[in-house]
Every structure is written in structure tokens, then in C-alpha cells.
Structure 1
Amino acid sequence: MKKRRIACLLSALLTLLLASCSSQDKHDDMNREMDKSKEVKANDSLNWKVGSFTYTDEKGKPFSLNQLEGKVWLANFIFTNCETVCPPMTAHMTKLQDMLAKEKITADIVSFSVDPKRDTPKQLRAFGKKFDSDFTNWHFLTGYSQKEIENFARDSFKAAVSADPTSDQFTHGTSFYLVNSKGNVLKRYDGVQNVPFDQIVKDTKAAADQAKNDHHTQKEENADEIEPVKVELTISEKDTPTIQAAVSQNGKPVNDADEVLFELWRSGGKKHQKIEIKKGENGIYSMKTHDLKPGKYVVISHVTARGMHTMPKKKFMVQ
């Protein structure tokens, strides 16, 4: 009897211990999921690509992602009939706009309406004015369907947008997003309660500085590219026609061409003359023609210069 009681007691203790472990495992799993969520929000390199768009701004004009090419910008999602978070979010964005201007940091701001049916350009402009928004570099966008903005917010910013079926309000994200000059979302921040204003300004400056460096690097790379040699072939049709080949590269005359050869023949004829021009002045290689019978002629200038070859062709008439 005692053995049976002891066995039952051990069984009960084992069951309790397993339940406790299971509960702890679930708690640990929840903590891990919360930590993952925090890691995503704090991630410095989200690198989400913003999808291409062409919408309508507060002036009623088309505004597209192309107009932000090469620029750093901040983004958020709002609507003018919002009764809760949108007013403080917009006020906070105004503060950021002022802080960036004070620090002379070049950046645009884009606020996407999640209520495009009611938010006309006029409504958005009036809403922006209430918060002293500077429309020079702050764009309030509308001009799309409800489904379109829901898909765009999800695909580009990993943000949920949906209409509340029980009211005229909308569910939407309250984050501010930093987008670099290549159109990639770098960071997201709390836009309502704990807005890290100084950090956003610091991060925006870093992104703007990087954009400048990328621009200068691109210019240097373009400068190193070899420009093609250009040849402009002209014929002066006077008493004695003069054939000229103006040779240039990157807008500057080429006087060191390896070879300039004029190939000349009468239209329909089989006999071709080839005359080499040894020297050019200010990039002009010319030849006067003599003893040409009246009729139509064709000339090709064969120009070899700086590792390139080009051969423009032209027709002219001898009276």
C-alpha cells in the first residue's frame, strides 16, 4: 500500500515538473519572439527596397519615386481625418524638418495618406499647413486606390494599413522611416511617443553624407570613362569643293589623329580615290578637290584616332 502511495506521489510530482518546464519553455519562446521583434526595430540595415510609384502631391501634381532619386528622405503614413496618432506624428515630423534645416542637412519628407478616397490634394495641403509644414521638401501624397496603398505599405515598408470596418478610421503603422539615396529603407523609428529626434537627425546626416560621397565617386568614375572620338564631315560646295573632317573628343579638338583618309568617288562610278591628310589644325583636316567633272560624288572620311575608328559618309554635287 505504501509503495502504491509513493508511486502515485512520484507520478504527480513528475507531472507537475513537466508542466512547469513546458510553461517555462513557452515563456522563453515568447521572450525570444519579443527580442526578435526588438532586433528588427533596431536594425541599422533593413535594406527594404521601396517600390516604384507615381502618385499625386498636395499641389495636385504627379509625384514619383524618380523625383527622389539620389535623395535621402523620411517617410510615414497618415490621414487627415485621424483622431489619434496622426496629429502628433505630423507635429513631430515638423520638428524634424526644422532640426534638419537648422543643421543644413538636405532631406525630403514624404507622407503617404492611408485614406486616399477622402484625402484630396486640397485636404492634404490644409492638413500640412495646420502643422507649419514646409512644402518645399515635404510631399503629402494621395491619388491611388485603397488596395494600392495597402499593398505598397506592406511591400515597401513592411507596414500594415487597413480600414476599420466599424468606423471611418484606419489602422496604420506609426513609424518614421529613413530611406537612402538608392531608395532603400535603412531604419525605422517610433513616430508617436518616444521619437528619437537627435538620432534621426544623426542618421539622416550620415545617409546624406554617404549620398554625396557616392555622387562624387560616380562623377570621378564617369570622368575616367573614355569619350568616343567624333567626326563631323562637311563639304563646302563652292567653285572648288573643300572637304573637311572636324575631329574632336569630349568637346576638344583632336590634332594627333593616327590617320585621316578621304575616300572619294563619282556616284555610280567604280574608281575610288583615297587621299591621306597628314596634318590637322584645331582638329580640322581638310582637302580641296580639283579637276572633278560635274556630277554627284560620295566621300567617306576614314579617321583613326586614340584607339578608335570612325567613318562618316556624305554626298555632294559638283556643278
Structure 2
Amino acid sequence: MRIWVIMMLALAGWACRSDDSFRTTEMPATPISDFVLQDQHGQPFKLSEQRGKVVVFFFGYTFCPDVCPMTLSTWKRVYDALRADTAAVRFVYVTVDPERDTPEKLQAHLAIFSPSFTGLTGSPEALREVYADFGVYAEKVNIAAGASGYLINHSTRMFVVDARGDLRLLIDHAAPVP
């Protein structure tokens, strides 16, 4: 409960900015279906095993040129501000590009921001089920030139799941950290 209050106070501080760059939506307690995906260490991650912690989800990919690294930078600042309370919060980055985002790639990428962040991947089918439960959009877009060959258009919200496993807050990716 204490960590939920801390997170809400931090987020309320962001919401009090005079500009319109912070958009957040509080949700009635909305259960999220349990799922199992693979983390960046090759271990299973099961949502139901996170009970007792606040879990902040973002759906992105390691090759993302803009929103994803900005979100991870924001997470780093929030994580550092939580200090002793970090054990009660889990930051979970779910790939929208399982073709390129192997566990090893996720591990290397997330370590740039914080080795404490969790990266998840899985089969396209398993990931689609998770996307559907959160209401996440992800679409591969081929590009004519460049080494990557494609980018992913995807949802840019963060999703906060409370310690009981219910979705409680949607946060716009542009939420500034004071």
C-alpha cells in the first residue's frame, strides 16, 4: 500500500504541470489475465507471481528510435527516486518485436537503463494474447531503406497494475519527470 501511495503522489506531481503533456487515466480495478512469458534471463515470468508488487508495463522494442528509449529513461528516473521502495515495484518492458528482441538483446538493451528492469518476450501468439488483454496495438511497418527493414507502430502508454494484479492506471508516454 505504501508504494502505491508513493507512486500515486509522484504521478500526481506530474499531472499538476500547467501544460497538457501529461495525460493519465485512473481505472476501476480491472483484472488482467494471468500469462507466462520469458524474461531476459531465459526464465519464465508469470504475472500472478508478481502479486504484492506494483508492476509498471510498457510495450516496446529495442530497435525503437524514439518513444521506447524515452520511456526507459523516464523509468530510470522514477526508479532512482523510489530508492528503498524499489523492491515493491517492478518495471516490465514487453516486446512488440519478438522477431528481433531475443532475451539476450533485451538484457543488453535494458542494462543500459537499469539491470533491475525486466524484459519479456515470447511466441507471437502468446504475446498477441497479452497485447489483447492490455489493449495494446502493434503493427510491423516495412521501410524502403535502412538496415532494419521495418519498424513497429505500437501503443505508447504505460500500464500500472496494482499489488492485487488489477490494472489501475494508464500513463501517457510523454509524462514528464520533474
Matches within 5 A, 1:65-144: 65-101=47-83, 106-131=88-113, 133-135=114-116, 138-144=117-123
In structure 2, stretches of 5+ residues that fail to align are 1-22, 144-148
Distance of 2:24 and 2:111 partners within structure 1? 32
Alpha-carbon offset, residue 186 of structure 1? 0.6
**Aligned: 1:59 with 2:41:** yes
Distance in 2, Cα, partners of 1:71 & 1:102: 14
Q: Cα gap change, 1:181/1:103 in structure 2, threshold over 3 Å: closer, same or farther?
A: closer
Give a deviation string over 1:192-218, Cα, whole Å, max 9, x none.
x3x1547xxxxxxxxxxxxxxxxxxxx
Task: Give, in angstroms, the shift of residue 43 of structure 1.
Answer: 3.4
Question: Does the 8 Å CA contact 2:27/2:170 hold for their aligned counterparts?
Answer: no
TM-score normalised to the size of structure 2? 0.75
Aligned length: 152
Alpha-carbon distance between aligned partners in 1 of 2:136 and 2:152, rounded to the nearest angstrom = 13
Residue 141 (structure 2) pairs with residue 159 (structure 1): no
- CA drift of 1:104 comes to 5.9
Give the superposition deviation at 1:105.
7.0
Residue in 1 that maps onto 2:126:
148
Give 1:154 shift: 2.6
- Runs of 4+ aligned structure 1 residues displaced above 4 Å come to 102-105
Q: Name the SS of the counterpart of 2:126 in structure 1.
A: helix
Q: Secondary structure at the match of 1:150?
A: helix
Structure 1: tracts of 5 or more residues without a match: 1-40, 199-319
- Please give the per-residue CA displacement for 1:223-261, whole angstroms capped at 9, x wherever unaligned: xxxxxxxxxxxxxxxxxxxxxxxxxxxxxxxxxxxxxxx
- How far residue 150 of structure 1 moved from its aligned partner, in angstroms, is 3.1
Asked which structure has the greater CA Rg, the reply is: 1
Alpha carbons 1:154, 1:161 under 8 Å: kept = no
Deviation, structure 1 residue 117: 1.7
Give me the CA root mean square deviation.
2.2
One-letter code aligned to 1:144: S
Cα contact 1:179–1:185 (8 A) shared by 2: yes
Contact 1:58/1:121 (CA < 8 Å) preserved in 2? yes
Are the structure 2 counterparts of residues 159 and 103 from structure 1 closer, same or farther at C-alpha, using a change threshold of 3 Å?
Answer: same
What letter corresponds to residue 151 of structure 1 in structure 2?
E
Q: After superposition, what is the alpha-carbon deviation per residue over 1:157-193, rounded to whole angstroms, capped at 9, x for unaligned?
A: 22212212445111111111211011111111122x3
- 2:153 & 2:28 partners in 1: Cα distance? 23
Residues in 1 aligned to 2:135 and 2:98: alpha-carbon distance in whole angstroms: 19
1:276-316 CA distance string (max 9 Å, x none): xxxxxxxxxxxxxxxxxxxxxxxxxxxxxxxxxxxxxxxxx
Q: Is the 8 A contact 2:58 2:156 kept in 1?
A: yes
User: For 2:56 and 2:65, how far apart are their aligned partners in 1?
Assistant: 23
Q: Which has the higher contact order (CA 8 A, sep 6+)?
A: 2
Q: What's the CA shift for 1:50?
A: 1.6
For the Cα contact (< 8 Å) 1:150–1:160, is it kept in 2? no
